[in-house]
Structure 1
Amino acid sequence: MIRKLMGAAVAMVTLATPAVADGLNVTVDGIRNAKGNIVILVFDDARAFDNLDLWSAIDYAQIPSRKGSVRHEFSNLNAGPYAVLLFHDENKDEDLNMTATHLLEGIGATGAPNPQDEPDFHAASVWPGDVRVRIHYDQ
């Protein structure tokens, strides 16, 4: 009887403990072509994300673009919460190109399913695991 109770208690604790994620795995959807790179910036600081302080990102990746979707694993990011900001650097100048009124390259963020969304860190926060971000283009 005691063994059964102990086994049940261990099972309950195991079920109540969240699984440890294997990093932050970002899938970028909606990429229009294979030109350039997808630049992904990950933030763990609300002020840095909200102020677009790119130099304060906790991690960063540039991956070759591919029409449709690409995926990148940040295996060392296991704590959270995080907010992701990304853009399609089609001309590889490491800058988001735009005119006074239009983006010339695509942009996306966690918490921004629509092109007009501009989430703050709280709205964009995600936890380690699989995350999908839609990239949006003006043209």
Structure 2
Amino acid sequence: MVKRLRFSILLLAIMGLALPFSAKASFNGKLAVEIDGLKNKQGQVCVSIFASSQGFPNNRDRVLQKQCIKITDTPLLVNFENLKAGNYAVAVIHDQNNDSTLNRNGLGMPIEGFGFSRNPEVRTSAPKFGEAAFLVAGPNTNIQIQLKYF
């Protein structure tokens, strides 16, 4: 009888702890992306959110949400809504000629500005998803991205 009572109390405690976590997992969060380091105000900035490594950072078919915004101020603030709790990575380009593509020279080097969440060091190739990934775990998440130019 005592064992059964202890088990029932333990089960209720576990269920009580599990309910708040499952309720939190169903929220829709907001993400504010502050973009700094723009070389000029020509063109637009395109911000893409990825929810997995598949396609990161440049496969348009794998983008969860994307916004291209005319540059009005620096730093530039771009807001996203309705993000479920989880890991995401952001890729940004300074699209100076408004073609929604990161233009490159003959050697494949970007000739427009770019950046990634968590500002990983970029040398010869784009970072992996894990190097740029961050956690959305609450109603409001703020990140800062510093653009780079070669």
Q: If the length of structure 2 is used for normalisation, what is the TM-score?
A: 0.70
Q: Larger C-alpha radius of gyration, 1 or 2?
A: 2
CA contact (8 A) 2:51 2:89 kept: yes
Which deviations, in whole Å up to 9, do the C-alpha atoms of 1:61-108 show, x marking residues without a partner?
011124631011112124221000110010111111111233221011
1:75 paired residue among 50, 57, 81: 81
Q: If the length of structure 1 is used for normalisation, what is the TM-score?
A: 0.75
Do residues 121 (structure 1) and 133 (structure 2) align? Answer: no
| 1:132 alignment counterpart | 144
Do residues 49 (structure 1) and 56 (structure 2) align? Answer: yes
SS in 2 for 1:123: helix
| 2:7 alignment counterpart | none
Q: Which runs of 4+ in 1 moved over 4 A?
A: none
Query: What are the ranges of 5 or more consecutive residues in structure 1 without an aligned counterpart?
Result: 1-12
Do residues 35 (structure 1) and 65 (structure 2) align? Answer: no
Letter in 2 for 1:132: Q
How far apart are residue 49 of structure 1 and its match?
1.3
| 2:70 alignment counterpart | 64
How far apart are residue 115 of structure 1 and its match?
4.1
2:105 paired residue among 99, 103, 106: 99
CA contact (8 A) 2:43 2:98 kept: yes
CA contact (8 A) 2:47 2:66 kept: yes
Aligned length: 123
Which deviations, in whole Å up to 9, do the C-alpha atoms of 1:103-135 show, x marking residues without a partner?
221011113343427321112111230011111
CA distance in 1, matches of 2:47, 2:106: 23
Seq. identity, %: 26
Query: What are the ranges of 5 or more consecutive residues in structure 2 without an aligned counterpart?
Result: 1-16
